[in-house]
Amino acid sequence: MPTAAYANADSTDVALTRDDGTVVAVKPDDPRLEGVEIAPYAPDPVPVPQEVTRAQARVAMAGQILPDGRSLLKATKALIAGRLEAVESLPDSDPASIAAEQLNEWWESAATYRRDHPAMAEVAGQFGLSDAQVDALFRTAAAVS
């Protein structure tokens, strides 16, 4: 069965999705809409900022509480400290040592944090954050002044 939703805020256009998945723009009085409930207009969500300052990110992370009760900020600091401690006895040339130092340098020295940075994906994965949760975190961070 086809589905439909208003395509604009003033309800003058409708996006009709046919059974085969194709989408057709129609007017609300189009006969093809007979018997089809038209869903309300849903504006696109706020775009996800791809970059925020370190301060913005850390303020947002302090407000993100994980299931264990810690803030994402404290948990991330502990994660990085733990990685550094785990490689303390390894030579600097060891890949695990290099990776831990690189993560620490990114965390401590980056002027901005990018949504697509591998370290961001690593931190998100470590704490079980979904893409939607990371997107929300970046939106929250961008709103920090």
58 and 22 fall within a common domain: no
| Residue 44 in this model has a pLDDT that exceeds 80 | no
Residues 123 and 76: beta-carbon distance below 8 Å: yes
The neighbour count for residue 47, using CB atoms within 10 Å, is 10
Is residue 45 in some structural domain?
no
65 and 128 fall within a common domain: yes
Q: What is the mean pLDDT of the chain?
A: 94
Planar angle of CA 77, 82, 87, nearest 5 degrees: 135
Confidence at residue 91, expressed as pLDDT on a 0 to 100 scale = 97
66 and 129 fall within a common domain: yes
21 and 69 fall within a common domain: no
29 and 86 fall within a common domain: no
120 and 82 fall within a common domain: yes
Number of domains in the chain: 2
- Residue-number span of the structural domain to which 98 is assigned: 51-142
> What is the pTM assigned to this prediction?
0.70
Confidence at residue 60, expressed as pLDDT on a 0 to 100 scale = 96
Residues 138 and 123: beta-carbon distance below 8 Å: no
Is residue 44 in some structural domain?
no
Quick one: how far is CA 57 from the chain centroid?
A: 12
